[in-house]
Structure 1
């Protein structure tokens, strides 16, 4: 990620004062006290060791500086409640033919709760604000809150996105002999999920030339945490 960021920054121009460092959020020894104007964490704060994080944030962020953490959970097919229900069954159902037992915890639960578990200490932080969105399968923007992430996607791309999930990787490690149909196997958990969704959503099955080419609107549940240093 650092290599990609450095390449994009250098090729974009105008960012010659940018530097990248690799470290943990809980220990940033290259920063002096009260040197930082803003700390941002995207889809990462749910893994922080919070008892060790806050002393370091208190040290490095100046008075009046800003903290901004954001994260997103699983998505919703906003026009397809039956497919969304099946997706949730596979995401969080228990057993070897579901993904619920294969998420890493407590990180996944923190994301599911939209980062509410992350509480900046009141003695050091003020103006604490949360912007949340809980999507619904009643059409675009039918959810509650502040919409952060939405996209129109091909179902084939949605499938490949799901295959990037850590739970899918963990499931694959627990089922070493099971291959996806595309790779010559009978079917894996993601194949099974999409077959059930196609049975439930007739227009997916009837899509031409393939269900993978059908476009759908997708929205993600999300949480943003903002705070200002006292």
Structure 2
């Protein structure tokens, strides 16, 4: 999680521009769950998006994250709000939560965090924390797609994964990014302790809205300008930014950064992207993995 501790990282921007999750995703997770809903643990909680939502369904929810900045942002999101009186945020790793006793947890969730975990250590800790028949539900999303603009999507992918040091490809934290790109198929709960493993996936296409394959959970309409700010929350961008400190975004008074370059290139071939207030439809490929504690 080193990306989120970097000086270039803004937890506030992450909270503003990162996508949230629809009711259909939470409904799928809750429908899978069996038994009591006393305590839910949200690993890699970030700014608390999932933690706050799960608090509507559980007596207590604890969100943990190794980033002090994320926890600070998460705590500020519930400060003084009585509807979140059952929510607590703690700084800590997913692989060790010694403050929670054996079998106390009914459900463990992780939204866009599971690709960071050390599973050799994580699975024994999940076995310890969860009661019998308790639920693990991890989900994540890969790159977004401009569903109405295949050329724009192709250019974005070129900038995102070209290994040249002036592009973004060499700055993705690995192997975590490859896990997300593969829709979390790397996550395989050990059969000795887990059962009824279920996977739900979606792969978007560029033939219009909902033209992809699988179960769509994540879609959003953003302006071109908002989309540019969203891609600046990519972990690869923060690595690029550290090695190109002289390149500042035009929106911040600079001459332009890699994201300005990328959107300029897109606008050359797709006139619609020349106006930052034009709205584009985007969808994310996603993977959801659920399992029960034996």
Q: Does 1:213 align with 2:277?
A: yes
78 and 57 in structure 1: CA distance in 2 versus 1, 3 angstrom threshold: same
Q: Which moved more, 1:185-194 or 1:45-54?
A: 185-194
Q: Does 1:2 align with 2:66?
A: no
Q: Does 1:187 align with 2:251?
A: no
Taking the TM superposition and a 5 Å limit, the aligned residue runs for 1:145-224 are 145-205=214-274, 211-224=275-288
Where does the alignment leave 5 or more consecutive residues of structure 1 unmatched? 206-210
2:84 and 2:233 map into 1 onto residues whose CA distance is 31
1:107 and 1:138 map into 2 onto residues whose CA distance is 29
185 and 17 in structure 1: CA distance in 2 versus 1, 3 angstrom threshold: closer
> Is residue 10–residue 16 contact of structure 1 (8 Å, CA) maintained in 2?
no
> How many residues are aligned here?
225
Q: SS state of the match for residue 236, structure 2?
A: helix
Q: Does 1:44 align with 2:108?
A: no
Larger Rg: 1
Instruction: Supply the RMSD in Å over aligned alpha carbons.
Output: 1.7
Residue 83 (structure 1) aligned to one of 143, 148, 152: 152
Residue 204 (structure 2) aligned to one of 119, 130, 135: 135
Q: SS state of the match for residue 189, structure 2?
A: coil
9 and 203 in structure 1: CA distance in 2 versus 1, 3 angstrom threshold: closer
2:164 and 2:173 map into 1 onto residues whose CA distance is 15
What TM-score does the superposition give when structure 1 sets the normalisation length?
A: 0.91
2:86 and 2:255 map into 1 onto residues whose CA distance is 53
> Is residue 263–residue 273 contact of structure 2 (8 Å, CA) maintained in 1?
no
> Is residue 73–residue 220 contact of structure 1 (8 Å, CA) maintained in 2?
yes
2:88 and 2:72 map into 1 onto residues whose CA distance is 11
> Is residue 127–residue 228 contact of structure 1 (8 Å, CA) maintained in 2?
yes
Aligned-pair CA distance for 1:128? 0.4
Where does the alignment leave 5 or more consecutive residues of structure 2 unmatched? 1-69
Aligned-pair CA distance for 1:171? 0.8
Q: SS state of the match for residue 21, structure 1?
A: strand
Compare relative contact order (CA 8 Å, sep 6+) and give the higher one, 1 or 2: 1
Q: SS state of the match for residue 87, structure 2?
A: coil
For residues 87-133 of structure 1, the C-alpha deviation after alignment (integer angstroms, 9 at most, x for no partner) is 00111112023110111111111111111111100111111011111
